[in-house]
Amino acid sequence: MVRDSPPLARLRHTLALLLIVVLAGALGYHLLAHLGTLDSFYMAITTLFTVGFREMGDVNAYTQFFTIFYLITGLGTATYALSNLTALIVEGDIQGYLRERRMEKRLADLQDHIIVCGFGKMGFQAAWELKQADIPFVIIEQDETKTHNPRFEGEIFLVGNAMDELILSRAGLTRARGLISALASDADNVLVTLTAKQMAPDVEIVARAAKLGTENKLKAAGADHIVSPYEIGGRRMANLFMAPDMINFVDVVVDSKEQLELALEHVLVSPSSPLAGLTLRDTRIRDTTGALVVGINRAGEGLRFNPKGSETFQVGDVLLVLGPHTALEAFVTLARGVTVHPRRRT
């Protein structure tokens, strides 16, 4: 049916109908009333829309019969075409179609973004943190009513099942930096993780786990990081009594609303890095950049906090660096030899 066709196809169909009717009328008046091109179109349009003032050209029986036939057949066709055109405008089909085309263009241009699966309480907060950090992201949510949130006006929402390969493909999974699976069901998070890893084995996945025992399933499915909101919440509540100063410090680091604007950056010591082979003391990082190396993550040894000044940086080390954004930018420039703005915040 025409009503089930895409909006632009319906618009083309409507305009084609109107054009055919007008052309047929103009041709009839040109042949029967011996009118010029402009007068023929004038007569066809004024007759079709019943606003004619007087007949032009040779008014004879043939012209009169043609006008009667043209009104009966053409008026019905034109009315149908105009009603269809009105419906397209009133129902917002064209605007919606154009919005979707713009969204598809934005999706095609996205690179190194985060896909957030599920826009419940946890997914909302994850997306909000990404928005605050100016990191591009796409939200996949089945419930369309949740996508109309004024705080996320202009962001990209895909309405659909995050377990569907087509939806993940539309979200640009193979070009994504990572995926957050924050669906309400642990079983759904396992399936999303499994599907995403099959489509893009190198994508980094952070998955939500509510029930005990789900962690093993998520790890087996390929999740790189697993977050249990109840475990984290309970640990934080206890630490507010046992180590409140540490909790306050962490809040200052990760809360972008604080004036201090501290952040943590992970920096890889590559073979071309000028830091490779130097000790922490020799680099004088604190003096030259204002950043502070608070940890070294070395393969086979894990993460070591508060390294000594005699610690030698090795190729493959991942440095955990703390400081204001300007200091981190200076450190990244020093470590990599190029100007790269930090993106990852922890």
Residues 118 and 224 in one domain: yes
Residue identified by tokens 């005699």 is 310
The answer to whether residue 102 is domain-embedded is no
Q: Please list, in sequence order, all residues whose beta carbon lies within 8 angstroms of the beta carbon of residue 140, skipping any fewer than 6 positions away.
A: 115, 116, 117, 118, 157, 158, 160, 162, 167, 168, 171
The mean pLDDT of the chain is 82
How many percent of the chain have pLDDT more than 70?
A: 84
Residue 168 lies in a domain: yes
d(CA 216, CA 223): 10
pLDDT at 136: 92
> Could you say which of 213, 232, 251 is where a domain stops?
232
* Alpha helix segments (H runs only) across 110-243: 121-132, 165-170, 186-199, 214-221, 229-242
Quote the CA–CA distance of 252 and 266 in Å, as a whole number. 18
Residues counted in the chain? 346
CATH number at residue 134: 3.40.50.720
The pLDDT value recorded for residue 52 is: 66
Q: Tell me how far apart the alpha carbons of residues 322 and 340 are, in angstroms, rounded to a whole number.
A: 16
Residues 6+ apart with CB under 8 A from 154: none
Asked, for residue 346, whether it belongs to a domain, the answer is no
- 263 and 215 in a single domain? The answer is no
- Cα gap 97→26, rounded to integer Å: 34
194 occurs within a structural domain: yes
Q: How far apart are CA 106 and CA 318, in angstroms?
A: 33
Looking at the structure, do residues 131 and 150 belong to the same domain, yes or no? Answer: yes
**pLDDT for the residue numbered 167:** 93
**Would residue 138 count as lying in a domain?**
yes
Query: Do 256 and 221 share a structural domain?
Result: no
Is the model's pLDDT at 345 over the cut of 60? no
- Say if residues 84 and 75 touch (Cβ distance below 8 Å): no
The pLDDT tens digits for 238-255 are 877 776 766 666 666 555
Q: Quick check: is 198 in a domain?
A: yes
Lowest mean pLDDT among 42-46, 221-225, 240-244, 337-341: 337-341
Q: What's the structural domain count of the chain?
A: 3
Give 113: exposed, middle or buried? Use CB within 10 Å, 0-12, 13-18, 19+.
buried
133 lies in the same domain as 223: yes
The Cα 163–Cα 73 span in angstroms is: 52
**Pair (126, 220) in one structural domain:** yes
Q: What pLDDT shows up at residue 258?
A: 47
State which residues form the domain around 326. Answer: 243-336
What's the CATH number where 56 sits? 1.10.287.70
User: How would you list the strands of the sheet with 318-324, edge to edge?
Assistant: 262-268, 318-324, 292-298, 302-305
- Give the model's pLDDT for residue 114: 94
The domain that contains 260 carries what CATH number?
3.30.70.1450
My answer on whether 286 and 315 are in the same domain is: yes
Q: Residue 185 burial by CB count (10 A; 0-12/13-18/19+): exposed, middle or buried? A: middle
CA dihedral of residues 112, 114, 115, 116 (deg, nearest 10): -170
pLDDT on residue 108: 83
The whole-number pLDDT of residue 102 equals: 76
What mean pLDDT do residues 159-168 have?
A: 93
- Is residue 281 situated within a structural domain? yes
The helix (run of H) or strand (run of E) holding residue 249 is helix 244-254
Q: Which of 17-31, 54-68, 154-168 has the lowest mean pLDDT?
A: 54-68
Q: From the CB of residue 236, how many other CB atoms can be counted at a distance below 10 Å? A: 11
Final residue before a domain boundary, out of 232, 256, 281? 232
What pTM does this model have?
A: 0.56
pLDDT at residue 101 greater than cutoff 60 = yes
Q: How far is CA 138 from the centre of its chain?
A: 3
